[in-house]
């Protein structure tokens, strides 16, 4: 089951998501780490801006940051999802470096995948299948209904039980490291931020019964997923 909420524009969507996230952090169990996987794209930039203006002191204590996917580029590259969060969120809020677990793209892909997996498993509970139970995963959605870097036609992704894996995407930069479907299914909460009228058809298709888009696979694997959009379905 999915909850879908529409907003007037992407700014209103980002403001709502920021407010909800901060409310969620206030209610968390302060005795353990809270793990969140971030996404890339345009909407997170607005989300980060809104969070920075709203966050109070101590809000992000024990909050540990990971990524749903990352491009295999240097962390200083404008295409880096880490750089987006570093400039927009971590630096303004002075998040301690030991709470930020970026994908180490300067290493070989095999090493980067293993390190990202190990770091995520270190601070999360694992389910019966050995998948990390992330507290909150933010996902964007492409016009082809891809989420993270899980693209249509990637049959290996459907069968793989890997927490993270390296993939080739259809758009540059092509090499990516992404969470797999089982990890997204295991997360406590998944919020999909779908912004842009050009994505409306992809979301409609993903919500249809029997759909096999990447987003549909995530939705069908979970009891509940929150979808926030700036267009009407």
Q: What is the CA radius of gyration of the chain?
A: 16
Residues paired with 6 in a beta bridge: 229
CATH topology of domain 2-229: Rossmann fold (3.40.50)
Q: Which residues does 155 contact at the CB level (< 8 Å), separation at least 6?
A: none
- Give CA 82 to chain center in angstroms: 12
Residue 1: per-residue pLDDT: 65
Residue 134: per-residue pLDDT: 98
Q: Is 40 helix (H, G, I), strand (E, B) or coil?
A: coil
Q: Where are the domains of the chain?
A: 2-229
Q: What is the pLDDT of residues 85-123, one digit of tens each?
A: 999 999 999 999 999 999 999 999 999 999 999 999 999
Residue 197: per-residue pLDDT: 85
Which of the residues in the chain have pLDDT under 50?
none
Residue 41: per-residue pLDDT: 86
SS3 readout for 43-82: HHHHHHHHHHHHCCCCCCCCEEEEECEEECCCCCCCCCHH
Q: Select from 216, 213, 210 the least CA-distant residue to 185.
A: 216
Residue 140: per-residue pLDDT: 97
Q: What are phi and psi of 181, to 5 degrees?
A: -55, -40
Query: Structure tokens of 119?
Result: 């770091």
Residues 161, 182: contact at Cβ < 8 Å? yes
Dihedral sign computed on CA atoms, order 219, 68, 5, 208: negative
Q: Which residue has the tokens 């607005």?
A: 46
Residues paired with 137 in a beta bridge: 37, 190
Residue 158: per-residue pLDDT: 97
Dihedral sign computed on CA atoms, order 15, 21, 22, 27: positive
Q: Is 39 helix (H, G, I), strand (E, B) or coil?
A: coil
């Amino acid at each position: 089951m999915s909850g879908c909420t529409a907003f007037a524009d992407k700014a209103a969507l980002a403001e709502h998501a920021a407010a909800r996230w901060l409310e969620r952090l206030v209610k968390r169990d302060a005795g353990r780490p809270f793990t969140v996987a971030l996404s890339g794209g345009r909407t997170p930039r607005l989300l980060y801006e809104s969070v920075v203006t709203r966050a109070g002191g101590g809000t992000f204590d024990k909050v540990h940051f990971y990524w749903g996917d990352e491009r295999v580029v240097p962390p200083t590259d404008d295409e880096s999802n880490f750089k987006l969060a570093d400039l927009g969120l971590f630096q303004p809020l002075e998040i301690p470096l030991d709470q930020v677990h970026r994908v180490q793209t300067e290493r070989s892909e095999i090493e980067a995948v293993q390190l990202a997996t190990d770091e995520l498993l270190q601070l999360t509970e694992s389910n019966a299948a050995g998948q990390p139970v992330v507290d909150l995963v933010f996902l964007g959605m492409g016009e082809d209904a891809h989420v993270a870097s899980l693209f249509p036609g990637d049959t290996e992704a459907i069968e793989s039980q890997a927490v993270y894996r390296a993939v080739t995407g259809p758009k540059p930069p092509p090499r990516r490291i992404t969470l797999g479907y089982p990890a997204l299914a295991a997360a406590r909460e998944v919020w999909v931020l779908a912004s842009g009228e050009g994505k409306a058809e992809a979301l409609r298709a993903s919500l249809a019964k029997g759909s096999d888009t990447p987003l549909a696979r995530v939705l069908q694997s979970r009891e509940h997923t929150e979808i926030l959009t700036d267009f009407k379905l």
